[in-house]
Amino acid sequence: MSGFILIVIIAYLLGSIPFGMITATQRGVDIRKYGSGNIGTTNVLRTLGAKAAVITLIGDILKGTLAVFIMKGFQGTEIWIALAGLAAIIGHNWPVFLKFKGGKGVATSFGVFLGIWPSAALAGAGIWLTVVGIWRYSSLGALVSFLCLPFLIYKFNGPDTYIGLSVLVAILIVYRHRDNIKRLWQGTESKIGQKIKV
């Protein structure tokens, strides 16, 4: 069990790697001072463009998937796999390297479920793309897709452990997007494609 606990700690540290911050810093920008102040892909896209956003997205996805794969590689049970994935998401949202002020967990959560239950994760990504394609709100796409995820995992015959994890992650996604929800309600939320001057 001590080995599994160590992997969960490693998963948290992996999740804490701030790829958005690193990518922006390499371009001489403190991403936290622009746009929403968030270190995630959407704010990087608005601030630094597509190339930096893609690097951030891939990094944030992979750290979630890697956390899951490490636990799977050491033959962790479903509950330990779920805990490793959750630790990576918590690491992204509250990273030790940035005084516990991180992102909203969308890409890392997607990476976790891509490693845990790929069919449901990809279906969720399809929902995100559809919502964003119609309304151009990244936050709305994240909210809708993750609220649908528990039903998708159930539909694709996922175990109760992963359904439970998806419910918890959906709650985290809603909590981390509470300001976005207010802006969506007020009609002031920024759309994908809007640029920010640096």
Is 194 inside any structural domain? no
Q: Which domain holds residue 123?
A: 2-186
Is 32 inside any structural domain? yes
Is 191 inside any structural domain? no
- Tell the residue number behind the tokens 């809007």, with chain if given: 194
Is 196 inside any structural domain? no
Is 104 inside any structural domain? yes
Are 116 and 168 in contact by the 8 Å Cβ rule? The answer is no
pTM, entire model: 0.95
DSSP H stretches of helix in 94-137: 106-116, 118-135
Is 39 inside any structural domain? yes
Domain count, the chain: 1
**How far apart are the C-alpha atoms of 16 and 105, rounded to whole Å?**
11
**How far apart are the C-alpha atoms of 20 and 40, rounded to whole Å?**
6
What is the full per-residue pLDDT of the chain (198 aa) written as tens digits? 789 999 999 999 999 999 999 999 999 999 999 888 899 999 999 889 999 999 999 999 999 999 999 999 999 999 999 999 999 999 999 999 999 999 999 999 999 999 999 999 999 999 999 999 999 999 999 999 999 999 999 999 999 999 999 999 999 999 999 999 999 999 999 898 776 666
For 81, residues 6+ apart whose C-beta sits below 8 A from its C-beta are 68, 71, 72, 116
Is 197 inside any structural domain? no
Is 99 inside any structural domain? yes
DSSP 134-198: HH--HHHHHHHHHHHHHHHHHHTT--HHHHHHHHHHHHHHHHHTHHHHHHHHHT-PPPTT-----
